[in-house]
Amino acid sequence: GNSVTQMEGPVTLSEEAFLTINCTYTATGYPSLFWYVQYPGEGLQLLLKATKADDKGSNKGFEATYRKETTSFHLEKGSVQVSDSAVYFCAPGGSNYKLTFGKGTLLTVNP
């Protein structure tokens, strides 16, 4: 089955700092790749996705590029805000619609 290695947190940044959360995966074939975000007290929401190699997913200033050669899907944002404080999960898709989630990275952004 698929597996995910995600940068462990917690990550604490000041507002407007640059963010990178690393994610590498192992999977059969070339699955769709996802980043989900869980804000405090809320359910998971899709942040962005990429469906094929070299695709770049983007949303709310976040970006991640599907790197087939390195089996990676690192999440980046140029300038984080306090409202970005949340837990971020990397997840490759799989057979039978099953997602495999990374352990999650807690991001705290201080004003």
Binding site for another protein (CB under 8 A): 31-32, 34, 36, 42-46, 49, 51, 89, 93-94, 96-99, 101-104, 106
Q: Reduced to 3 states, what is the DSSP secondary structure of residue 63?
A: strand
74: which strand partners? Answer: none
Q: Which is nearer to another protein, 33 or 80 (by Cβ)? A: 33
- Min dist CB 63 to another protein, Å, is 18
Query: For residue 48, how far is the Cα from the chain centroid?
Result: 8
Is there a cis peptide before residue 40, judged by omega within 30 degrees of 0? no
Q: Collect all residues with Cβ–Cβ distance below 8 Å to 29 and sequence separation of at least 6.
A: none
Q: Which is nearer to another protein, 79 or 94 (by Cβ)? A: 94
Q: Which is nearer to another protein, 47 or 109 (by Cβ)? A: 47
- Min dist CB 69 to another protein, Å, is 21
